[in-house]
Amino acid sequence: MDREIAAARLDRVVDAFQGKERFLVQTHNNPDPDSIACAYAIRYLVQRYTGHTAVIAFGGIVGRSENRAMVRELDIPMVPGSLIDYSEYDFTAVCDTQPGTNYTSFPDGFVPTVVIDHHAPREESLGCAVCIIEPGYGATSTLVGEMLIAKGIPIPADVAMGLFYGIKSETQDLGRDTTETDVEVYTELEKLVDRRIISRIESERVPREYFFDLLKAIEGAVLSGDVVTSELGPVRVPDMVPEMADFLLRADCARWTCVTGVFQDLLYISMRTNGEDSDAGALMLRLLANRGSGGGHPSMAGGQINLVDQDAEGRVATSIAFMAEFVAETRRQGDDREAEPLILRIP
- Judged by the rule CB under 5 A, the positions of this chain that interact with Mn ion are 34, 96, 140
Q: Minimum Å distance from CB 35 to Mn ion?
A: 6
Report the C-alpha gap between 132 and 278 in whole angstroms. Answer: 26
Which residue of the chain is nearest Mn ion when measured via CB?
34
Residue closer to Mn ion by CB (options 140, 273) is 140
Residue closer to Mn ion by CB (options 140, 318) is 140
List strands edge to edge, sheet with 91-95: 79-80, 55-58, 23-26, 91-95, 114-117, 130-133
Helix (H, G, I), strand (E, B) or coil at 240: helix
Residue closer to Mn ion by CB (options 185, 228) is 185
Q: Minimum Å distance from CB 166 to Mn ion?
A: 7
Q: Minimum Å distance from CB 312 to Mn ion?
A: 32
Q: Minimum Å distance from CB 200 to Mn ion?
A: 22
Q: Minimum Å distance from CB 140 to Mn ion?
A: 5
Cβ-based neighbour number of residue 46 at 10 Å: 23
Q: Minimum Å distance from CB 254 to Mn ion?
A: 23
Report the C-alpha gap between 79 and 82 in whole angstroms. Answer: 8
Residue closer to Mn ion by CB (options 34, 134) is 34
Residue closer to Mn ion by CB (options 17, 186) is 186
Residue closer to Mn ion by CB (options 227, 300) is 300
How far apart, in Å, are the Cα atoms of 106 and each of 67, 102, 133? 22, 9, 19
Report the C-alpha gap between 295 and 101 in whole angstroms. Answer: 10
**Where on the phi/psi map is residue 295: left (φ > 0), alpha (ψ -120 to 50), or beta?**
left
**Nearest CA among 158, 160, 156 for reference residue 144:** 160
Strands 130-133 and 114-117 come out as parallel
Cβ-based neighbour number of residue 191 at 10 Å: 9
